[in-house]
Amino acid sequence: MRHPRLILKPGHDRPVRRHHPWIFSGAVAELEGRIEDGEIIDVYSSDREWLARGYLNRRSQIIVRLLTWNPEEAIDESFWERRIDRALAARHLLRLDEITDAYRLVYAESDWIPGLLVDRYRDFLVIQSLTLGIERRKELLVRILTERCRPTGIYERSDLDVRAKEGLPPADGVRHGEIPPERIVIREHGYLFRVDIRHGQKTGFYLDQRENRRRVAPYLAGARVLNAFSYTGAFAVYALAAGAESVVNLDTSAEALADAAANVQLNGFPASRFENVEGDAFRVLRQFRASGRRFQAVILDPPKFAFVQAHLERAARGYKDINLQALHLLESGGILVTFSCSGLVSADLFQKIVFAAAEDADREVQILERLGQAPDHPVRLSFPEGEYLKGLICRVW
């Protein structure tokens, strides 16, 4: 099938040939033919060589998101079925059902389906449609997911800021089946967690931290732990299960802290072993320092600080500040577990930020382990932007 043609400027074809899925508006020389945004377009080099096929959105800085580099592959219903089947098969190979009933099924560009996120929470699916190209095909994709997964319901949480860049308003609600309950109880590595998939952060739970929670836990045995940016207290549950003496959950959301308390109790730990503190972490960490309060382990899992390149310097200052305050709170020999989920902050830059904080705090720090996102959030080699979560387990002297 012939599609309208997008012609690249000279010298802008290399990323496409290397299977990077994004074409930015500045790389485009001309558009040939009439086409609506969200529809399929063929991409050609400046000398009119066919390169790839994807969907167009002139309202976005990313003007084309590429779907195939095979000129014979049509972008029809069977295409979307094949892509979803491949993503589901990849999750099956991870044998995730043996350890959890909540995980990512489709990870957008990293699963060759740009703009679509799908998470499973027991027998419910949560979808996020992030681009106009996916929005135009949402009903089809919901139908495919319904046929393949047979969920009790599919709920949409397309409330991310990126939709505005695509010219799309936020969208949420039931797209198939039943309305999810107010809280779903999921299991993970033998622990139970209450999840609000309709209103909670991300799609309700930090699925990408699953393996990091398990890896961090042994370092927390016997420790007094501060769990900053705690959300619903998942790290606290793992810490208490590993034998932490006590855990302080610190978050700005009273509702999240209520769920954190429920999760601790749901897993059989007494209320005497944890404390909830509501407040801004930047302010509360300083208050703890001023009052002389000290911990044997501090976990920092802040939200995304850098959304665009212009925010990077400010984000770096924010990461340095919270790590500096955490280092001041740690006893000698203590453990710092620190994360960044800002994709624009590379692992190398993040390590330099933590080093700068250690210099200012006059603390010696050893890196014990490097952490990343769980394997149901794979990183496609031709799309390094899919690697956003990085973390360090450190010993502080």
Residues classed as catalytic: 341
Position of tokens 């665009």?
A: 308
- Say if residues 258 and 285 touch (Cβ distance below 8 Å): no
Contacts of 163 by beta carbon, 8 Å cutoff, 6+ apart: 129, 130, 169, 170, 171
> Smallest Cα–Cα separation from 99: which of 195, 198, 206, 187?
187
**How far is the C-alpha of 87 from the C-alpha of 96, rounded, in Å?**
13
Polymer length of the chain: 397
φ, ψ for residue 141 (rounded to 5)? Answer: -65, -40
Tokens describing residue 51: 């390169």
- Say if residues 163 and 134 touch (Cβ distance below 8 Å): no
Q: What share of the chain is helix, strand, coil (3-state, %, to 5)?
A: 35, 30, 35
The amino acid sitting at 325 is Q
- Edge-first strand order for the sheet with 295-300 is 274-278, 246-251, 224-228, 295-300, 330-340, 390-396, 365-372
The 10 Å Cβ neighbour count of residue 374 is 21
> For the chain, how long is the longest CA-to-CA vector?
71
Query: 222: exposed, middle or buried (C-beta count within 10 Å: 0-12, 13-18, 19+)?
Result: exposed
